[in-house]
Amino acid sequence: MMGFSFRRFGAVLYKEFIQMRRDRITFGMMIGLPIIQLFLFGFAINSDPRNLPTLVEVNDNGPLTRAVIAGMQNSSYFDFKGAVEGAGGGEEALRRGDANFVVVIPRDFERNVMRGDRPEVLVAADASDPSATGGAVAALSGIVTVAISETLSGPLANAPGGAAPFSMVVHREYNPEGRTSTNIVPGLLAIILSMTMVMITAIAIVKETERGTMEMLIATPVKPLEVMLGKILPYVFVGYVQTIVFLLAARLVFGVPFEGSVWAFYLGFNLFVVVNLALGFLISTAASSQMQAMQLSFFTILPSILLSGFMFPFAGMPGWAQAIGQAVPATHFLRIVRKVMLKGGDVSDVTGELWALAAILLVISVIAMLRYRQTLD
Amino acid sequence: MSAELVIDVRGLTKDFGPKRVVDHFDIAVPKGAIYGFLGPNGSGKTTTIRMLCGLLTPDAGEGTCLGFDVLKQADQIKERVGYMTQKFSYYEDLSIRENLDFVARMYGLDRRRERVDRALADLGLADRSRQLAGSLSGGWKQRLALAACLLHEPQLLLLDEPTAGVDPKARRDFWDEIRRLSALGVTVLVSTHYMDEAVQCDFITYIAYGKKLIDGPSGKIPEMVGLETWRVSGPDLAVLAERLAREPGVEQVARFGTVLHVSGTDKAALAATVERLKAEGTHQWSLQVAGLEEAFIYLMAGARDNFAPGTQARIAS
């Protein structure tokens, strides 16, 4: 048995670069698409939406009512579109989607407040999309309380029942303005890397089998390891380019900070890239055509988006789903990126995630190697 | 290993799942010979060739290829064998020169540029070397593939249906090249479906359903098949052919231009039928020596053992 030949490895690598350069569309997909996605999603996704269309049903015309409405309007969550008459009008508007909220000010609202009768202000929210209305609902009671206490002054200042016995102070750490892009942009790096790395590696390898060139390759003295490394390394390079572009854009366009240790990021990033390449390689051993490779890759992408904590909070999922999420490489890279970029973490903060990635890598590689031996014969 | 035999294997067997694709296949190929490898689609030709050049490990069997053990020394065999796949297996998105250069690097050849230049000149593609391989026509792709698998000057060429889908002129040129190489001492094992190619081989082996049915020098094949052939000429041959196919002793009716070749292995039964028909006086009958063509039609259609036993004689045209 002869050992690893750097000349043959280099020849495969060189060939792969030529092919990559000739395949304009894939090349564009690798570099252009991530940038477009970053800008599109970075600007478009907002988990704390404002200016939601709101209607009001006013049954009391006092200054207190006007204060409540003005307070809601000023919070920027609510955008008053007009008034409705009677209960049926509000319901109809919600159902048609003309408004996300209908605020009902009850009859004799002001008088009842003065008396300390604790009247009820009904806010009907369209909760068919909870995340659209959640932020506004959460802010609502504070807004109303403040509006009322500012209006009632002098002897009536304490009329509504006085101040609460304690006060809550919430600090929004690591993202004080609560901007979605600060959360989304680092997460997108994990998603885009897993998308391109897994899919492109899988396709690049399956392409050789599908076009019959693999048969020619293995008829030459070239070793499987030389082929694999030669084919995969160019895509590691692509991953580096994507990440650099990404980090620059995150910093310059979205103002996402990079607080933590570059070394910790670099370590996590490289490990994540290798895990994805191994996953792509594993897929290539199962797929017999580029189409299948593409479809199988898509199966890995959806959990990366939905179960990794990128889209929805990880802690909010049931235990079994969290267990699946733990097996998704993007989950751990996402945590590394957020810890390092936003929370200023260093290597010791991300050791757990690094080990998790290493464990995933080990499992994937073992399965891939076992399968690859079979497919050679 | 015998100094004369380039390939000498016995009992090669390969299973894919429950299916036995190659079943105890033996072959002995002398140096410099052109060995024809025939058989219907799916008969195990490609699998056998892949086992011989180290692409597949046989499940059973033993033997040598170029003096190296087919089971244990696949690496040494790969370095010395030129394997041309059935399907064009070079990179369509690389230029002709890049493909040749890549193959030369795979074999770690010295004087790479010189070899590639010479191969391009031999191909007559020196001025088109930058053209992408994918834009070549079938015949040119085949020539490129041959040039690529000759770059490392192999002592043994394994060609898997090299002329499928190639026009007759290109096929003739291709065979001229094969004979030239054979004269230089290169051993060639070539699988084919074409009878006119089979007759160019020095030796022929016929395989069906993984089993070798016949193997010998091409001149002796008709004798080994044991076919007797009558030549018939006269009017309304199509009608006669239909009728003959149902007669006892007639196993094959093949039309060659304006005559029919009526063959069978049961000489007595065939002769009786011929005598009976001859008496009708409508056609001219003559006994002739069975040629390779009849033997091959017989063998190619010889699925009688495999597809549907006991079918009546076939009419080939």
When mean pLDDT is compared across A8-17, A299-308, A356-365, the lowest value belongs to A299-308
How far is it, in rounded angstroms, from Cα B196 to Cα B7? 24
Share of residues in chain B with pLDDT > 90 (%): 38
Per-residue pLDDT band at B210 (split at 50, 70, 90) = confident
Mutation site, A12, A209, A216, A374, interface B, largest B CB count within 10 A: A216
Per-residue pLDDT band at A117 (split at 50, 70, 90) = confident
Identity of the residue numbered A282 = L
Residue of B nearest to A222 (CA): B106
Hey, how many other C-beta atoms are within 10 angstroms of the C-beta on B18? 5
Mean pLDDT of the region B56-62: 90
The answer to whether residue B268 scores a pLDDT higher than 60 is yes
Identity of the residue numbered A211 = R
| Contacting residues for A154 by C-beta, under 8 A, at least 6 apart | none
Residue of A nearest to B74 (CA): A221
Interface check for B110 against chain A (CB to CB < 8 A): the answer is no
Let me know: does A370 contact A281? Beta carbons within 8 Å. Answer: no
Share of residues in chain A with pLDDT > 90 (%): 21
| Sheet (strand B5-16) strand order | B19-30, B5-16, B60-65, B68-69
Please tell me whether residue B193 adopts helix, strand or coil conformation: coil
Share of residues in chain A with pLDDT > 70 (%): 95
Chain A residues with beta carbon closer than 8 angstroms to that of B83: 216, 219
| Contacting residues for A280 by C-beta, under 8 A, at least 6 apart | A197, A198, A199, A200, A201, A202, A205, A297
Per-residue pLDDT band at A250 (split at 50, 70, 90) = confident
With vertex at residue A82, the alpha carbon angle to CA A81 and CA A87, rounded to the nearest 5 degrees, is: 115
| ipTM entry | 0.78
Mutation site, B13, B59, B89, B94, interface A, largest A CB count within 10 A: B89
Inter-CA distances, A94 with A99, A102, A228, A336, A373, Å: 5, 7, 58, 42, 60
- Among the partner residues A19, A22, A219, nearest to B53 by beta-carbon distance: A219
- Find residues 84-103 of chain B whose CB sits inside 8 Å of chain A: 85, 87-94, 98, 102-103
Q: What is the CA radius of gyration of chain B?
A: 22
Per-residue pLDDT band at A129 (split at 50, 70, 90) = confident
Q: Bigger pLDDT: B132 or A176? A: B132
Give the burial string for A303-321 (b: 16+ CB within 10 Å, else e). Answer: bbbebbbbeeebeebeeee
Interface check for A22 against chain B (CB to CB < 8 A): the answer is yes
Residue of B nearest to A21 (CA): B93
Chain B residues with beta carbon closer than 8 angstroms to that of A19: 91, 93-94
Chain B residues with beta carbon closer than 8 angstroms to that of A6: none
Interface check for B79 against chain A (CB to CB < 8 A): the answer is yes
Beta bridge partners of B68: B65
Could you tell me the end-to-end alpha-carbon distance of chain A, in angstroms, rounded to an integer? Answer: 18
Give the burial string for A180-214 (b: 16+ CB within 10 Å, else e). Answer: bbbbbbbbbbbbbbbbbbbbbbbbbbbbbbbbebb
How far is it, in rounded angstroms, from Cα B76 to Cα B67? 10
Q: Note whether A212 contacts B98, CB cutoff 8 Å.
A: no
Give the burial string for B96-118 (b: 16+ CB within 10 Å, else e). Answer: bbbbbbbbbbbbbbeebeebbee
Identity of the residue numbered A36 = I
Predicted pLDDT of residue B302? 61
The answer to whether residue B306 scores a pLDDT higher than 60 is no
Mean pLDDT of the region A191-202: 87
Predicted pLDDT of residue A97? 83
Give the burial string for B209-227 (b: 16+ CB within 10 Å, else e). Answer: bbbbbbbeebeebbeebeb
Beta bridge partners of A9: none
Chain A residues with beta carbon closer than 8 angstroms to that of B81: 219
Q: Note whether B75 contacts A212, CB cutoff 8 Å.
A: no
Interface check for A210 against chain B (CB to CB < 8 A): the answer is no
Q: Bigger pLDDT: A170 or A309? A: A309
pLDDT, averaged across chain A = 85
When mean pLDDT is compared across A159-173, A260-274, B217-231, the lowest value belongs to A159-173
Per-residue pLDDT band at A353 (split at 50, 70, 90) = very high
Chain B residues with beta carbon closer than 8 angstroms to that of A217: 106
- Among the partner residues B56, B78, B87, nearest to A220 by beta-carbon distance: B78
The answer to whether residue B311 scores a pLDDT higher than 70 is no
Q: Note whether A221 contacts B91, CB cutoff 8 Å.
A: no
Nearest C-alpha of chain B: how many angstroms from A293? Answer: 20
Nearest C-alpha of chain B: how many angstroms from A365? Answer: 23
Residue of B nearest to A218 (CA): B55
Interface check for B1 against chain A (CB to CB < 8 A): the answer is no
pLDDT digits (tens, 9 = 90+) for A334-348: 999 999 998 888 899
Sign of the CA dihedral A303, A304, A309, A312? negative
Predicted pLDDT of residue A357? 95
Mutation site, A220, A290, A373, A375, interface B, largest B CB count within 10 A: A220
Using the structure block, give the residue that is written with the tokens 């509006």: A147
When mean pLDDT is compared across A22-36, A297-311, B20-34, the lowest value belongs to A22-36
How far is it, in rounded angstroms, from Cα A15 to Cα A27? 15
Chain A residues with beta carbon closer than 8 angstroms to that of B55: 215, 218-219
Mean pLDDT of the region B188-199: 86
Q: Note whether B81 contacts A219, CB cutoff 8 Å.
A: yes
Q: Note whether B85 contacts A215, CB cutoff 8 Å.
A: yes
The answer to whether residue A288 scores a pLDDT higher than 80 is yes
Mean pLDDT of the region B101-114: 93
Mutation site, A7, A14, A15, A25, interface B, largest B CB count within 10 A: A15
Q: What are phi and psi of B66, to 5 degrees?
A: 55, 30
Per-residue pLDDT band at B309 (split at 50, 70, 90) = very low
Interface check for A11 against chain B (CB to CB < 8 A): the answer is yes
Chain A residues with beta carbon closer than 8 angstroms to that of B91: 15, 19, 211, 213
Predicted pLDDT of residue A44? 84
Interface check for B195 against chain A (CB to CB < 8 A): the answer is no
Residue of B nearest to A24 (CA): B93
Per-residue pLDDT band at B240 (split at 50, 70, 90) = confident
Mean pLDDT of the region A156-173: 65
Predicted pLDDT of residue A376? 55
Per-residue pLDDT band at B253 (split at 50, 70, 90) = confident
- Among the partner residues B81, B87, B107, nearest to A212 by beta-carbon distance: B87
Residue of B nearest to A212 (CA): B89
- Among the partner residues A11, A19, A23, nearest to B105 by beta-carbon distance: A11
Inter-CA distances, B231 with A354, B285, B302, Å: 82, 6, 21
Interface check for B106 against chain A (CB to CB < 8 A): the answer is yes
pLDDT, averaged across chain B = 86
Element (H, E) at A114: helix A109-115
Q: Note whether A221 contacts B103, CB cutoff 8 Å.
A: no
| Contacting residues for A358 by C-beta, under 8 A, at least 6 apart | A271
Per-residue pLDDT band at A279 (split at 50, 70, 90) = very high
Q: What are phi and psi of A222, to 5 degrees?
A: -60, 145
Predicted pLDDT of residue A12? 93
How far is it, in rounded angstroms, from Cα B231 to Cα B253? 10
Predicted pLDDT of residue B94? 94
Chain A residues with beta carbon closer than 8 angstroms to that of B94: 15, 18-19
